Structure 1
Amino acid sequence: MTKGYLIIGWIMAIQTGFLFFVGIMAKDFPFYALTPLSLTVMSFCMHYLYPQFKEKDERMKMIREKGIFYSYFAILLYHIIFMAVVQFDIIHLTAMNLLNIMTCLIIMTVFMSMVIMAKIF
């Protein structure tokens, strides 16, 4: 199963690279490529976490709990920052672009915080 996450991660990385290449060649930032980017990060994180998560022990539960706990505060901070950015027109974003950014940040934050917690504990 671990190899599956790694293979999917590399396939998604190639796809993400292609989407960024196409978007940049069109002289526009490809917000639509952020979701595959976050899924790439998720696949690589799951590749790292799967051996630890397959054992249903206290360490696995603690990694998940702490990862989600710290992710909650990071996501709350993201929302506060984006509310200020939209309110004061610091950066002009469409609703779809903002949703793409938020989705990417949330997925990446949750899984990367679990990897960090797995390294700490």
Structure 2
Amino acid sequence: MKNNKTVFLVLGVILLINAILVNSAYISAGKFPEGLMTAAIAIMSFCMAYLSDHFAAKDERAQKIRERGVFVSYFWMLGIIIVLMALVNPYVGPVHLSAYHLLLLIASLYISVVFVNMVYYARKY
């Protein structure tokens, strides 16, 4: 399992560098950062590097970490969607995003929140 940890760390570093380069180019041009999914996958890769030792054994602890991480992420995402609905309201909202950018933001946040929650519960249990 040590090999998986190294692979995830290397992929995470590559994806993080890619995300920083792509997103900084979009932000410096004054556009919405299109590389959010790359940043989310980099976060997922770093989290999997930490979780690979915990998930190596197919025991009930690993199953509990997975279940709890996904369950709590549902409520986090419900809160994030409510906040985004208030911010992106077309009538009074201060932020104007296209549907594609909004879905990209939600999907990226969901991937990040699920895996960060799994890391939290792996440390807790």
What is the aligned partner in structure 1 of residue 30 from structure 2? 27
1:86 aligned to which of 68, 85, 88: 88
CA distance in 2 between partners of 1:34 and 1:25 (Å): 15
Query: Hey, which bits of structure 1, 4+ residues long, moved more than 6 A?
Result: none
User: Which residue identity is paired with 1:94?
Assistant: S
Q: Secondary structure at the match of 1:28?
A: coil
The partner residue of 1:74 within 73, 76, 94 is: 76
The Cα RMSD (Å) is 1.2
3-state DSSP of counterpart to 2:93:
coil
Please list every run of 5 or more consecutive structure 2 residues that lacks an aligned counterpart in the other structure.
none
Of 45, 49, 52, 2:54 maps to: 52
Q: Are 2:119 and 1:115 equivalent residues in the alignment? A: yes
> TM-score, normalised on structure 2?
0.90
CA–CA distance in 2 between the matches of 1:24 and 1:105?
18
| Map of 2:18 onto structure 1 | 15
Does residue 101 of the first structure (1) align with residue 109 of the second (2)? no
Whole-angstrom CA distance in 2 between matches of 1:53 and 1:43: 14
Question: For 2:38, what is the secondary structure of its paired residue?
Answer: helix
Quote the sequence identity (%): 38
How many residues are aligned here?
120
Q: Please, which of 33, 36, 42 is the counterpart of residue 38 of structure 2? A: 36
Q: What per-residue deviation string (whole Å, max 9, x for no partner) do you get for residues 40-60 of structure 1?
A: 000000000011101011110
TM-score (norm 1): 0.93
Give a deviation string over 1:43-87, Cα, whole Å, max 9, x none. Answer: 000000011101011110111111111101001111212222233
Ranges in structure 1 where 5+ consecutive residues have no aligned partner: none
Q: How far did residue 29 of structure 1 move?
A: 3.5
Q: Which has the higher contact order (CA 8 A, sep 6+)?
A: 1
